[in-house]
Amino acid sequence: MTDAEQARKSVIDAILKGERELANNLLDDYAVSRGHRTAMNEVLEPVLEEIGSRWAEENISLAQGYIAGKVAEDLLLKIHDAEQESPVKQADKGPVIVGNIEDDYHSLGRKLVSVFLQSAGWRVYDLGNDVTAEEFADKAVETGARVIGVSAMMYTTAANIRKVREELDRRKLSGRIKLAVGGAVFKLRHELAYEVGGDGTAANGFQSPQLFERLWQESLRETPL
């Protein structure tokens, strides 16, 4: 077993046991001679993918998912601090927007998505809860984001996502700006993602980096720089 494989196994075990500090220590140990960015790429990102698969099979509790998010957040902070001091800056993948749709206040999923996207190298603008279609579109235009991720927990609030699609259409931004949708309701009602005007969805927050990557590439193909 390589060092990276051993570290991944230990970090997964720590997260599943709810041991945030232990997981952080294991990642710090791995980073000693390699740096925190390498620990993210070689250890934590694959760990998050593995936890995402288990989440999809409903083998992960809310607490374990939460701990995974906090461990990612802790490591991101260390990367951020290290890169502040370093003359070499890590290239970011680009700006993306996330937020809970108008009238939706279930922020756990969105916050996890935000952390996982940052872990994957995206520059995330998290607009918080109860965000209107206009606010999403304005921020995407202001930052140059090609993907907006909108979260909704329930059917009633998910229906409000249509307003974001309509706003993008009205401003002739559909195609350039892709709409990722997610939240508990989409898991049990897959077709809803397209009914509300979404361009794609992921099985869970852990898989959001792959979704955003795909939508970003689609946007580039449809409306190149």
List residues binding another protein (CB under 8 A): 18, 20, 61-64, 66-67, 70, 103, 105, 107-108, 129-130, 154-157, 184-185, 188-189, 192
Read off the amino acid at residue 142. E
Of the pair 105, 170, the CB lying nearest another protein is at 105
Q: Nearest distance from residue 105's CB to another protein, in Å? A: 4
Of the pair 18, 144, the CB lying nearest another protein is at 18
Tokens of 183: 């939240």
Separation between Cα atoms, residue 171 and residue 88, nearest integer Å: 38
Q: Nearest distance from residue 60's CB to another protein, in Å? A: 9
149 close to 214: Cβ distance less than 8 angstroms: no
Of the pair 67, 72, the CB lying nearest another protein is at 67
Q: Nearest distance from residue 130's CB to another protein, in Å? A: 7
Of the pair 46, 155, the CB lying nearest another protein is at 155
Q: Nearest distance from residue 128's CB to another protein, in Å? A: 11
88 close to 145: Cβ distance less than 8 angstroms: no
Separation between Cα atoms, residue 222 and residue 172, nearest integer Å: 13
Q: Nearest distance from residue 45's CB to another protein, in Å? A: 23
Separation between Cα atoms, residue 127 and residue 130, nearest integer Å: 9
Radius of gyration of the chain (CA): 18
Of the pair 135, 213, the CB lying nearest another protein is at 135
Separation between Cα atoms, residue 90 and residue 84, nearest integer Å: 10
Separation between Cα atoms, residue 199 and residue 138, nearest integer Å: 19
The H or E element containing residue 148 is: strand 147-151
